[in-house]
Chain A
Amino acid sequence: MAFIKTENLSFAYDDDLSHAALKNINIEINEGEFVAILGHNGSGKSTLAKHLNGILLPTEGRVTVDGMDTADDEALIKIRRTAGMVFQNPDNQIVASIVEEDVAFAPENLGIDPLEIRKRVDEALETVGMTKYKNHSAHMLSGGQKQRVAIAGLLAMKPKCIILDEPTAMLDPKGRKEVMKTIKKLNSEENITIVLITHYMDEAAKAKRVIVMNKGEVMLDDTPHYVFQNAGLLKSIGLDVPQSTELMFELRKQDIKVPLAVISDDECVTVLKEILEEDRVTD
């Protein structure tokens, strides 16, 4: 059974479905998956994300997380500790001034025993590589470090899934790299389900599955290789493709026979090498 499942999910901020922010969304996310959600501004990504842990409730349809319905009040706390959420602005999600005290916030809310909280806080900080900073002032950290603290704050709840809403949008390239590395590690080593909302194509290319949203609807839902093959379609809704894919797209326009399903730099190099060698043979 799917870990997160939306069934005919529609949502309007003012309950009037004639201008819905989400229209009839049906997606299933399995445990341990790494899913990226793409879409231009206002396409409903954040709105969808907030449905995945019961911050927003569907106007129509149903969302279940690990078998629990998000509309069920009784299950809400359990849903929130199962699926944690990281937001775009690193400053506005840190509650306490000192790093370790902030990481302890969620387990404190859950009424966990102080000794167990200590253990979880230390483990979580270790996982995101912030142990050295546990007694630091949170506001002195860099953006990337703040986001890692925010992730640690969720890990202390021992979630099965982490939803990240454009976590790198306000970071410098170094911070982006740190955060992406942490996210990938959580997925591969801790088997935590990752839902990553991003508008960086290279980040989406690292996922195992990409969902493209447009005007509140799911437009594509497939592997990154397949999704980025539709470069023309993505461009028509105002999205970019990874630079490697872009290059292939342009080469194709010049009638050079290259595969479109090229999303990483390495693949790109291999393909280019091949066609250059072929050229030499035919010359």
Chain B
Amino acid sequence: MLKDITIGQFFPGDSLLHRLDPRMKIVLTVLYIVLLFVAKSIVSFAAVTVFSLILVFLSKISPKLILKSLKPLLFIIVFTTVLNIFYVKGTPIFEPIDILGWQFTITYEGLLTAVVMVLRITLLITTTSLLTYTTSPIALTDGIERLLSPLNAVKVPVHEFSMMMTIALRFIPTLIEETEKIMAAQKSRGSTFSEGGLIKRAKALIPILVPLFVSAFRRAEELATAMECRCYAGGKGRTRLKQYKLCARDYISLLTVIAVFAATIAINILLQGIVFAI
């Protein structure tokens, strides 16, 4: 169950996406997310979807893994779909059906909104997972640190923030593994986690969370000592193994995304009133 969490995982490789500068990748991902919300017509969504599929192809990450990253959000996707199908008003597809005194109908608008929302969520998760799948956690936090470094001037602790992220990403798998171990141990003593009401379930979590926290604090203390032993003294005067330099492929990627962005806005304007839009 917990193994399904793929957040923050990295799959080493040497695809185009792997080789892009992490700073550029972060900027492009943000642009892309904005794009998803700018796209307003079915046509532009089709274009964005094709573009995303190309990205997945370029990353050489197996589509299975991408689907796996969607799994934890399946509930949200289904929920918004159902909500939109039944609640958006407009032209009904069929006459309202009467079930136990409730009037049910599905509208064209509802159906389209549902499709668009599903696409939006799916694409959002797909691309952000592509970012973490193709960028090593250090490169990612490095990228963020460098992008935010101007904030140092106004005394924002950028390095500390990125160090915290590095460590968090490093320890996510370790803590997940540990949680599974503790759960197995408690189960073997007769605990159940998936039975009873909400309160009973919440109570069943206590014997998992307490040992998990105790161990996390012990880990934190040991890690701090180990970092001290390796001469860590904050961000001042630190150099980095990996040096980043923007090159042709970074600029070409930027131009491509800007082009897709411009095309989307153009479609929005040109097709206004012709093709259904939300």
Judge whether B240 is part of the interface by a CB distance below 8 angstroms: yes
Is B241 within 8 A of A110, CB to CB?
A: no
Q: Is B169 an interface residue (CB 8 A)?
A: yes
CA A135 to CA B242, docked complex, whole Å: 13
For A81, give the chain B residue with the smallest CB separation. Answer: B231
Which residues of B have CB within 8 Å of A53?
229
A109 touching B136 by the CB < 8 A rule? no
Contact residues in B for A110 (Cβ distance below 8 Å)? 231
B137 close to A96 (CB less than 8 A) = yes
Q: Which residues of B contact A81 (CB under 8 A)?
A: 231
Q: Mark A70-91, 1 if CB is under 8 A from B, else 0.
A: 0000000100110011010101
Does the CB pair A101–B230 fall under 8 Å? no
Distance of A104 Cα from B248 Cα, bound (Å): 28
Partner of B230 from the list A114, A135, A157 (CB cut-off 8 Å) is A157
B241 touches A121 (CB 8 A): yes
CB atoms of A105 and B137 under 8 A apart: no
Would you give the 0/1 interface string for B181-201, flagging 1 where the beta carbon is closer than 8 Å to chain A?
Answer: 000000000000000000000
Tell yes or no: B138 within 8 A of A by CB.
yes
> What residue in chain A is nearest B170 (Cβ atoms)?
A97
The answer on a CB contact under 8 Å between B138 and A101 is: yes
Q: List B residues 235-254 near A (Cβ within 8 Å).
A: 237-243
Question: In the assembly, what is the distance between CA of A110 and CA of B236, in Å?
Answer: 10
Whole-angstrom distance from the CB of A137 to the nearest CB of chain B? 7
Distance of A91 Cα from B170 Cα, bound (Å): 10
A2 / chain B contacts, CB cutoff of 8 Å: none
- Kindly specify which of B46-54, B87-95, B217-225 makes contact with the partner chain: B217-225
Chain B residues with CB under 8 A of A114: 239-243
B229 touches A85 (CB 8 A): yes
- Given A95-B166, A97-B138, A139-B173, A104-B230 contact (CB < 8 Å): no
Residue in A77, A139, A154 whose Cβ sees the most chain B Cβ within 10 Å: A139
Q: Is the CB of A87 within 8 A of B222?
A: yes
What residues on A are CB-neighbors of B136 within 8 Å? 97-98, 101
How many chain B residues touch A (CB < 8 A): the figure is 32
Q: Are A111 and B170 in contact (CB under 8 A)?
A: no
Contact A138 B243 (CB under 8 A): no
Interface centre among B138, B170, B241 (most CB of A within 10 A): B241
User: Quick check: B222 and A93 within 8 Å, CB to CB?
Assistant: yes
Contact check, B138 vs A80: say whether CB atoms are below 8 A apart.
no
Query: In the complex, A114 Cα to B243 Cα: how many Å?
Result: 7
Interface 1/0 per residue, B132-174 and A, CB below 8 Å: 0000111000000000000000000000000000110110011
- B230–A109 CB distance below 8 A: yes
CB-CB under 8 A from B232, the residues of chain A are 105, 109
* Residue from A89, A93, A109, A135 in contact with B12 in the complex, judged by beta carbons closer than 8 Å: A135
Tell me, in angstroms, the Cα distance from A80 to B237 when the chains sit together.
17
A92-B219, A101-B138, A105-B232 known; A111 vs B238 contact (CB < 8 Å): yes
Instruction: Compute how far the CA of A18 lies from the CA of B156 in the bound complex, rounded to whole angstroms.
Output: 46
Residues of A within 8 A of B239 (CB): 107-108, 111-114, 117
Contact B226 A137 (CB under 8 A): no
B227 contacts the other chain (CB 8 A): yes
Q: Is A240 an interface residue (CB 8 A)?
A: no
Q: Are B138 and A77 in contact (CB under 8 A)?
A: no
| A195 at interface, CB cutoff 8 A | no
- Within the complex, which residue of B177, B226, B240, B242 is in contact with A92, where a contact is CB–CB below 8 Å? B226
Residues B233 and A55 in contact, CB atoms below 8 Å apart: no
Q: Mark B105-149, 1 if CB is under 8 A from A, else 0.
A: 000000000000000000000000000000011100000000000
- Asked if residues A84 and B219 are in contact (CB atoms below 8 Å), the reply is no
Taken together as a complex, chains A and B put the C-alpha atoms of A112 and B231 apart, in Å, by 12
- B166: A residues at CB distance < 8 A: 95-97
| Given A53-B229, A101-B138, A157-B231: A95 in contact with B238 (beta carbons within 8 A) | no
- A-B contacts, 22 listed (Cβ < 8 Å): A85-B226, A87-B225, A89-B219, A92-B219, A92-B222, A93-B222, A93-B223, A95-B167, A95-B227, A96-B138, A96-B170, A97-B137, A97-B138, A104-B240, A105-B227, A106-B230, A108-B238, A108-B240, A114-B239, A135-B12, A139-B170, A154-B230
Q: Which residues of B contact A (CB under 8 A)?
A: 10, 12, 136-138, 166-167, 169-170, 173-174, 177, 218-219, 222-223, 225-233, 237-243
Closest A-B pairs by Cβ, 4 of them:
A93-B226, A104-B241, A92-B222, A106-B230
